[in-house]
Amino acid sequence: MTRSFAWVAVVMMITTVPMMIGSSVAAFSQGDLGLDTSIVARAIQPGEVVRLDVTCACEVVRATATVLGRSAPLFPMDARGVWRGLIGIDVEVNPGTYPIEIVVERTGQPPLAATRELSVTAKRFPIRRLRVADRFVNPDPETITRIQQEAVRLEALFQIVTARIWNEPFQAFRAPVAEPATGSFGARSVFNGQPRSVHGGMDFGSEAGTPVTAPGAGTVVLAQDLYFTGNTVVIDHGVGLYSVLAHLSTVGVSAGDGIQRGAIIGQVGATGRVTGAHLHWGVRLNGARIDPLSLIAALDK
pLDDT confidence of 214, banded at 50, 70, 90?
Answer: very high
The pTM score is 0.83
pLDDT confidence of 168, banded at 50, 70, 90?
Answer: low
Q: Give me the sign of the Cα torsion angle 71, 72, 76, 82.
A: negative
Does pLDDT of 41 surpass 50? no
124 contact partners, CB below 8 Å, separation of at least 6: none
CATH 3.20.20.10 is right for the domain spanning 127-299:
no
Percent of the chain at pLDDT > 70 equals 82
Does pLDDT of 60 surpass 90? no
Question: What CATH number labels 5-120?
Answer: 2.60.40
Please give the pLDDT value at position 159. 92
For the chain, residues classed under CATH 2.60.40 are 5-120
Higher pLDDT, 58 or 37: 58
Does pLDDT of 27 surpass 50? no
The span from the CA of 238 to the CA of 222, in Å, is 15
Please give the pLDDT value at position 153. 96
Write out the H or E segment, with its range, that includes residue 261: none
For the chain, residues classed under CATH 2.70.70.10 are 127-299
| 284 exposure class (CB count in 10 Å sphere: 0-12, 13-18, 19+) | buried
Question: Across the chain, what does the average pLDDT equal?
Answer: 81
CB 23 within 8 A of CB 71: no
